[in-house]
Each structure stands twice: as C-alpha cells, then as structure tokens.
Amino acid sequence: MPYERPHDLRVEKTIDAIQTTFKEMLLEMDFNDITVKELCARARINKKTFYRYYPAIEYLLAEMQQSYSQPYIEMVKDLKYPRDTDKITRAFLQFGTEQDELYEKITCAGPHDAIREEMIRNVEKGHNPSEIMPAGWDAPTWNIYLAFVTSAPLFIYRQWIADGKKMPAKKMIDAGCLLVCNGARALERQMH
C-alpha cells in the first residue's frame, strides 16, 4: 500500500514526525486504539496535513510494516530450504537483534498479533523459500519440516527478548542456528 508523495525537506520532516509519533503510540497502545486526531495532536500537525500524506491510518501502518519486512526479504531473497536452512535461520535471528523496540514488541507482544501476522504475510509474499519440495520428500513430511524451520527461529528470538537479552546476541544466534539446523538435518538425513 505504498503511497507516492512529493520529496522536499519540509515534507520529510512532517512525515518523520508522523512516523515517529505513530511508533511511539504503538509502543503505548494497540493499533486499533490509535486515532488520527490523537496522532496529529502529538505530532503537532493538523489532520489535513496527515491526510495529505496518508489517505488513511492503515497506509501509515502498511508503510511501517514494509519498513521492517522489506530489508529482511532482501537479505534472504536468494536462499531456499533445505539447502540454506542455516543461512535463513541466522539471517532471521541477526535481523531481529538489529531492530528497534517496536519491532521487538510487535514480534513478541499479544496486542500486536495482527500487525505481526501481516508482516509475516509480507515476507512470505516477498520470499518463498519453499517453492519446490526436494526429491525424496513426501508432502506431509515437507510441511512439518517447513513448520519447524520457519517457526523455531521466531520462538528462539521471542525467548531471548523475554529473558531480557541476557545472553549475548551472537551466542543466541549461534545457539539458535545449532538447535534449528541440527533438528532439521536429522529429518533431512532420514528423507535421503
């Protein structure tokens, strides 16, 4: 849902104020509780200005979701399962460690489930690492394999956040890759 707008310094400052305020509000409340009126008051702009750049608040949300999803899609665009399970896992965990507090909250907290699910759909549309089932695999086993290798890194990342990031990021990434890839490789060996 990208929306074209003019480029100049005043526009950039206004859009930055809108986006920054929106992210601050998402850290405080559920998306459904955010109103354009309150966002404008906090960003110190009028509603007419908001609507000049965003036809609706959902466009702002979509833009924010893309700002998180697109860089990750770019990182993994040439990677495929099962060949690159370790690289995809490492990329996901590394990407997560480099994001801001809002990304963490969206990824881990219940109030933002709908936002997270839309970001996951964006990634799936932009990067389908499982287009072709490898020879020797049956569909039910392949589906279980994909369910594991695509969800386990998310659960590892969430636990790292829940534990207050007490483990150094590199150690978490290495441990996560070891857990995901060794479990995945055991099934890969069985299928050959």
Does residue 45 have a pLDDT over 80? yes
**For 54-80, how does the pLDDT look when each residue is reduced to its tens digit (9 = 90+)?**
999 999 999 999 999 999 999 999 999
Split into its structural domains, the chain has a count of 2
Same domain, 72 and 92: yes
- Give a yes or no: residue 168 inside a domain: yes
Within a domain: 1: no
Residue 60 lies in a domain: no
91-95, Cβ contacts within 8 angstroms, sequence gap of 24 or more: 92/153, 92/154, 92/157, 93/153, 93/156, 93/157, 93/172, 93/173, 93/176, 93/177, 94/169, 94/173, 95/71
Query: Is residue 3, in this structure, part of any structural domain at all?
Result: no
Q: Is the pLDDT of residue 1 over 60?
A: no
pTM over 0.75: yes
Give the domain CATH number at 47. 1.10.10.60
108 lies in the same domain as 154: yes
- 131 and 111 housed in the same domain: yes
**2 pLDDT more than 60:** no
Tokens representing residue 136 in the block: 């020797």
Q: Which domain holds residue 35?
A: 9-55
The pLDDT of residue 189: 77
| Chain mean pLDDT for the chain | 89
